[in-house]
């Protein structure tokens, strides 16, 4: 029954989080560094802190049409408090929405590990991984985007990772896979923002199981703005979409009352 | 049917949020400033940005026993993905948990407005407000804490607001109310972190309707850590509490089948 | 710290809910009667049980375009487990979606109470209420529908309430208000399903604070079907809507880096 | 962009669900039969409808200590609307809470299929499955309970399945596994309510992917009662638990401000 927790110690007039007094963190340590502290247990180096900040901003928003803002706005239109609508947006973060960070990071971490185990170069590993995925008819997660042929967030995250000397084998492998996909498949499947974050957090030695968490922590800012805009600019229950939905269920029919009910 | 949104413009390889290219924001503008931008439409001054950062950190976590981490951990113990558990924590942010920011800010903004309308000083206004609340047997929200007699987060937020020259009539009124509560009621009801944030955002000219949002945006970091800890340190369905629950419903009885069913 | 609960007593091999052994309820008492039992503490009469059953079915589904199924399907498209998507649908049940049951029931219960207090007939009360709402420019909740001029669910619920001898002052008042709205405003604002349920639960002496609960308890069946259909017929992240969204935020602009950051 | 849906056709004054006019379903077809209709597309036989009703009631509630009511009550204590609190309860339904229905049903359906493929009897199959799970050190889901040595809900569901002539190979296999676990492991791991429902829905030829849905559809009734009780009997933010939580994070330490920030 007794719990243990390494997060916060609560005593009268005294709050310790991961060893630090909260009043020492507030206004002295940038919030994204505090996020890193909460997850890793230690404050980040300056470069890792800056990278964490960049990751959060890269996830904030991608317009109204992705599942998370859409869900948040639809729920807001029911006339509910802001947290309920933001929570609905967060619920849509799943294997298909933001989920490529988690799976992509695991994939790349596994790839880098195999490079050592199998004694091969980054380019050779990329070739192997692409060949294997073609054989198994599986997509490599984190590549391709329905709108962007070169995602501006990826470009910026990778430039920053270079600048901050964070870029290592995982980012290099991601770039090699992108090149190999282009060459062997003949189609451009650029690294998308999920794939970029997957590679960056891998080079930062962060746990891939937190993949959805990083997306969530940045996205919640955009969701708050989306819900606030919905609540302040539009009426509840407004007609949001003209969905052209064809009914293809059973033909109209009569209920036959069951004999003895 | 046509929507308008002032948040993000999405074009191929080009993402504009509140006028700024996302690649220009990422890693150049601190995330808490981006949060401010998303809500207000403009980047904050350096002091307002720093204050926003401090507000977010002041909300991260207060141990496992408050409703939001408790809900998040209980839900995590059902064996669900991290976003579902974090969302459950967010759902608990309501009128009684984080809600004093919203109501407190509205109360103080109204108080400051009345100072001008009624031509009275901060101290006179504080006296009026405390007297009125006593008469109506209503608590003034944002004062008193079950653990702290002097909340270290309040102390730090107010010191920072002074340092950054943000502190104005709303913070002064909050302090005057605290003093008046002490003098007229004879009991210490110190400004808690909700009350402090309510006063600070009022002096920053932020919308009181976003009160729960500020709490949520900081708390989501702590909730992520709580869920991650639950998922990595404990087994699903662990016995979390020894709730001593007395059944006081009807005595055990027989079902009488209804005559003709 | 000690709890009291009147719902279920748990002992080894022995589960008592509201006094009844669960094994005696299972398969002997219809589920809608069990719902009534859970809320009221007593099993319903046969007619009240049948009416509760009818209320639940009247809330199941109204196509894909209302907020609850829309939110559920959007969230499902993120690739999440069924309960997360169903929960998102439930979150949209708010003041503007299903909320008219709660507010409508309170309104009608208050109206019926005033009939006695003010010694007036149902028709006189309806006239007063419509006049008052016109004066205050407030809509009477539970009247009017964007699709139906005569909601088939309302017709059926009221016919059943007559048949089961449940119909009383609240249903009569609802009908009188509908007539008065037509006569004094000259426009048809037919009682919608929310208004019908509000009147029926009032005549059943059920708590108006449970208004959203009745809607939720029936709607959850439709939401389950919606999510199941989305998960089995469509791919995750499918393009669900062509939202024509105009960006009307600030013009594209450059970030000016703050001097000393 | 065009949707297809087999659930509900909405036309003015005309609502068709799975072929039936809603006004024909309301009050004529028991709600649990409507649930079955929504999921399977056809109304159930009388026996299957009765079994569905029994399944829903068997899931309603198991006291306050399981994750779903606990999460619902904790969230309710934040002072939020009923649907938010009920949704939080639903979010806890996961692989470890209610999830054994889904996995158990898949397991048993696979077992019954193998009986034919491998030409073996129910008892032989049970022996194989138990031996395999021991070898892989995997629990067979749906067996064992922390409170009950003979779950009264299982006993009742299986008796009803016999009575309604629904019991077939899946229920028989479940019972054979229970017996084999006892004989080969020497410890009683009785079929719990999840395992019982898994076997029953398999004999009803229902989709195992809906395992969590059946639990959810019954549990939502109990959650509504739990939240209603919390909201009407207790104050928001009441101290719900005395969690004895030991802080085992880093020792108290000073923040070292980064040199150039």
Is D96 within 8 Å of chain B by CB? yes
CB-nearest partner of A221 from B38, B84, B151: B38
| 3-class DSSP state of B11 | strand
Q: Are B249 and C21 inside 8 Å of each other by CB?
A: no
A192 and chain B in contact, CB less than 8 A: no
The alpha-carbon gap from D127 to the nearest alpha carbon of chain C, in Å, equals 27
Find, among B49, B56, B1, the residue nearest to B25 by Cα: B49
Interface test with A, best of B76, B90, B239 (most A CBs within 10 A): B90
Residues of chain A found within 8 Å of residue D20, distances taken between Cβ atoms: 252-255
Instruction: Give residue C169's pLDDT.
Output: 98
Consecutive H or E run containing C32: helix C31-40
Confidence (pLDDT) at D260: 46
The answer for residues whose C-beta is within 8 angstroms of residue B23's C-beta and 6 or more apart is A152, A153, A155, A156, B15
pLDDT above 90: residue A11: yes
Token duo for residue A133: 């995925």
Give me the pLDDT at residue D134, please. Answer: 92
Chains that touch C (3 or more CB pairs under 8 A): A, B, D
D243 touches chain A (CB under 8 A): yes
| DSSP run (H or E) holding A101 | helix A99-117
**C positions 118-147 inside 8 Å of A (CB):** 146
User: Does residue B260 have a pLDDT over 70?
Assistant: no
**Phi and psi at residue A173, to the nearest 5°:** -65, -40
For residue C260, the model assigns a pLDDT of 45
Output the pLDDT for position A244: 83
- C122-156: per-residue pLDDT in tens? 999 999 999 999 999 999 999 999 899 999 999 99
Residues counted in chain B: 261
| Contact B155/A at CB under 8 A | yes
**Interchain CB distance below 8 Å, C80 and A63:** no
Cβ-Cβ contacts under 8 Å, C13 against chain D: 148-152
**Whole-number pLDDT of residue C88:** 98
Q: Which of B88, B97, B239 sits opposite D79 (nearest CB)?
A: B97
Rg (CA), chain B: 23
pLDDT value, residue B257: 65
Chain D residue with Cα closest to C88: D87
The most distant pair of C-alpha atoms in chain C lies apart, rounded to whole Å, by 78
Does C213 touch chain D if contact means CB atoms closer than 8 Å?
Answer: yes
ipTM above 0.90? yes
Pick from D30, D42, D38: nearest CA to C221 = D38
Residues of chain C with pLDDT under 70: 1, 257-261
**10 Å Cβ neighbour count for B42?**
12
Q: Is B250 on the interface with C (CB under 8 A)?
A: yes
D104 CA: distance to closest CA in chain C (Å): 17
CB atoms within 10 A of CB B163: 13
CA of D58 vs chain A CAs: smallest distance (Å): 22
In the prediction, which pLDDT does A261 show? Answer: 43
Q: Report which of D235, D206, D220, D211 is spatially closest to residue D57, judged by C-alpha positions.
A: D220
pLDDT digits (tens, 9 = 90+) for A153-175: 999 999 999 999 999 999 999 99
Alpha-carbon separation of residue B107 from B78, B100, B101 (angstroms): 40, 10, 10
Cα distance from A89 to chain B (closest Cα, Å)? Answer: 9
| Per-residue tokens: B22 | 């996302």
Nearest to C64 among A64, A236, A245 (CB): A245
Q: To the nearest whole angstrom, how far is the Cα of D249 from the nearest Cα of chain B?
A: 11
Interface contact D151, partner C, CB < 8 A: yes
Select from C218, B247, B68 the least CA-distant residue to D229. B247
CB C196 within 8 A of CB C153: yes
Mean pLDDT in consecutive groups of 10 residues from the start of chain D, 261 residues: 90 97 98 98 98 98 96 98 98 96 97 96 97 93 92 98 98 97 89 97 97 98 98 94 89 79 43
CB–CB of B2 and C253 under 8 A? no
Q: How far is D18 from chain A (nearest CA, A)?
A: 6
- Among A131-145, B49-63, C39-53, name the one with the lowest average pLDDT: A131-145
D201 touches chain C (CB under 8 A): no
Smallest CA–CA distance, residue B194 to chain C, in Å, is 25
Q: Hey, are the CB atoms on B242 and A51 less than 8 Å from each other? A: no
Q: Which residues of C191-216 are buried (b: 16+ CB within 10 A; e: fewer)?
A: bbbbbbbbbbbbbbebbbebbbbbbb
Of C108, C132, C102, residue with least CA distance to C210: C102
Residue B258 pLDDT exceeds 80: no
Contacts 24+ apart (CB under 8 A), B186-192: B188/B149, B189/B140, B189/B143, B189/B144, B190/B143, B190/B144, B190/B145, B190/B148, B190/B149, B190/B150, B190/B151, B190/B154, B191/B142, B191/B143, B191/B151, B191/B154, B192/B100, B192/B142, B192/B143, B192/B144, B192/B145, B192/B148, B192/B151, B192/B154
Return the structure tokens found at C192.
Answer: 């919608």
Cα of A245 to nearest chain C Cα, Å: 8
Q: Inter-chain contact A61–B156, Cβ cutoff 8 Å?
A: no
C-facing residues of A in 73-92 (CB < 8 A) are 74-75, 77-80, 84-85, 87-88, 91-92
Quote the pLDDT of residue A185: 82
Chain B nearest-CA residue for A210: B228
Q: Do D226 and C156 touch (CB under 8 A)?
A: no
Nearest chain D Cα to C226, which residue?
D7
Tell me which of B78, B145, B249 to substitute to probe the interface with D (most D C-beta atoms closer than 10 Å).
Answer: B78
Distance of CA B178 to the CA centre of its chain: 19
- What pLDDT is recorded for position B102? 96
Chains adjacent to A (≥3 CB pairs closer than 8 angstroms): B, C, D
From the list A19, A30, A252, the residue facing D252 with the nearest CB is A19
Are C36 and C48 in contact by the 8 Å Cβ rule? The answer is: yes
CB-based contact D213 C228, cutoff 8 Å: yes
Is the minimum CB–CB distance between D38 and chain C shorter than 8 Å? yes
Q: How far apart are CA C3 and CA B247, in angstroms?
A: 9
Task: Please state, in angstroms and as integers, the Cα–Cα distance from residue C252 to each residue in A152, B19, C247, following that order.
Answer: 15, 4, 11
Q: Using alpha carbons, select from D6, D3, D32, D2 the residue that is nearest to residue D20.
A: D6
């Amino acid at each position: 029954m007794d719990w243990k927790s390494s997060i916060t110690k609560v005593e009268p007039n005294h709050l310790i989080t991961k060893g630090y007094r909260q009043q020492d963190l507030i206004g002295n340590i940038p919030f994204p560094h505090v996020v890193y502290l909460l997850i890793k247990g230690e404050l980040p180096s300056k470069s890792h802190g800056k990278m964490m900040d960049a990751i959060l901003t890269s996830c904030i928003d991608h317009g109204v049409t992705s599942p998370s803002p859409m869900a948040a706005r639809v729920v807001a239109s029911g006339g509910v408090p802001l947290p309920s609508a933001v929570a609905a947006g967060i619920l849509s973060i799943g294997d298909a929405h933001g989920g490529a960070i988690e799976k992509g990071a695991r994939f790349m971490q596994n790839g880098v590990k195999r490079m050592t185990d199998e004694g091969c170069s980054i380019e050779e590993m990329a070739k192997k991984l692409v060949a294997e995925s073609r054989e198994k008819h599986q997509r490599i997660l984190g590549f391709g985007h329905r709108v962007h042929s070169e995602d501006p967030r990826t470009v910026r995250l990778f430039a920053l990772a270079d600048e901050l000397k964070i870029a290592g084998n995982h980012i290099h492998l991601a770039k090699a896979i992108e090149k190999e996909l282009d060459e062997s498949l003949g189609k451009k499947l650029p690294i998308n923002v999920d794939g970029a974050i997957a590679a960056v957090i891998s080079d930062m030695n962060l746990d891939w199981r937190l993949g959805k968490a990083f997306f969530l922590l940045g996205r919640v800012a955009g969701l708050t703005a989306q819900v606030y805009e919905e609540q302040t600019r539009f009426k509840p229950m407004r007609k949001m979409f003209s969905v052209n939905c064809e009914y293809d269920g059973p033909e109209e029919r009569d209920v036959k009352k069951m004999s003895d009910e």
